[in-house]
Amino acid sequence: MTISNLLHSPQTPLTLLHKPHNHHTRSSFLKSPSSSSFFTLTNKVNHHQTITTKSKKSDSADYPDRLISAICYFYPFFDGIQYGKYVITQFTPIQLLIQPLIPAIKVFKSFPFNGFLVFLTLYFVVVRNTNFSRYVRFNTMQAIVLDVLLIFPDLFERTFNAREGIGLDLMMSLDSTVFLFLLVCLIYGSSSCMLGQVPRLPIVAEAADRQVL
């Protein structure tokens, strides 16, 4: 009953009190030196934020960086080519794939310390050199870590030098697995770099991240 009376009662409608606008105050604020400096500072901050956002979103690499990064993945493959002695002889497509790389592999294997010299060059000249982009240094570090991991199958072969039976079958399986892993890493890493993408290899990507600041 009270609500009905309130809605239908012939009361005068409520009027809003309007405060007179002080145009003089507004204009004086806009014309004051402090207000102009405030707007200038705001524009600079917004402009700086826009540039920072664009630079963070820009993750592309130029063509020289892509080429250098792609070439680095040949290093662990050349260093571990001996693990493919069983697979290469059994599968013709892999022989055809490896055939163009034979001259480079021969040069790499011509001197016993070539692998170690390449390791030192890549690590100290590329990875530790901030003149190279992080894209190049990260991919180079991935190739180095992948090559360092070859120590484990090498130690396994030296410890268990099987020549027949189950031990030989196990050794052949291990060598073939290592070689195929290196081949996949080479194809995936190099092709991704040539496309300007960032390949993240299993096992080695996190270790490379920790080394590249």
Give the tens place of pLDDT for each residue, 155-213: 988 888 777 778 788 889 999 999 999 999 999 999 999 999 999 998 899 999 999 97
More confident residue, 168 or 128: 128
Q: What percent of the chain has pLDDT over 70?
A: 72
- How many structural domains is the chain composed of? 1
Q: Is residue 137 assigned to a domain?
A: yes
Domain carrying residue 169: 61-211
Q: Residue 151 and residue 80: Cα distance in Å, rounded?
A: 10
Sign of CA dihedral 163, 168, 171, 176: positive
Q: Residue 142 and residue 185: Cα distance in Å, rounded?
A: 10
Backbone angles phi, psi at 212, to 5 degrees: -100, 115
- Taking the model in full, what pTM does it have? 0.71
**pLDDT of amino acid 57:** 35
Q: Residue 157 and residue 187: Cα distance in Å, rounded?
A: 26
Q: Is residue 5 assigned to a domain?
A: no
The two three-digit tokens of residue 179, written as one number? 């070689």
Residue 116 predicted with pLDDT over 90:
yes
Q: Is residue 50 assigned to a domain?
A: no
Q: Is residue 87 assigned to a domain?
A: yes
Residue 20 — pLDDT band, cuts 50, 70, 90?
very low
The two three-digit tokens of residue 7, written as one number? 């809605």
Q: Is residue 88 assigned to a domain?
A: yes
The stretch 136-156 carries a mean pLDDT of: 95
CA distances from 49 to 53, 54, 56, 177 (A): 6, 9, 11, 49
| CB contact at 8 A, 176 and 84 | yes
Question: In what helix (H) or strand (E) does residue 17 lie, and over which residues does it extend?
Answer: none
**pLDDT of amino acid 60:** 60
Residue 68 predicted with pLDDT over 50:
yes
Averaged pLDDT score across all residues of the chain:
78
Helix 165-194 to helix 134-148 angle, to the nearest 10 degrees? 170
The distance from CA 176 to its chain's CA centroid, rounded to whole angstroms, is: 28
In this structure, of 39-43, 138-142, 152-156, the range with the lowest mean pLDDT score is 39-43
**pLDDT of amino acid 176:** 95
Residue 6 predicted with pLDDT over 70:
no
Q: What percent of the chain has pLDDT over 90?
A: 62
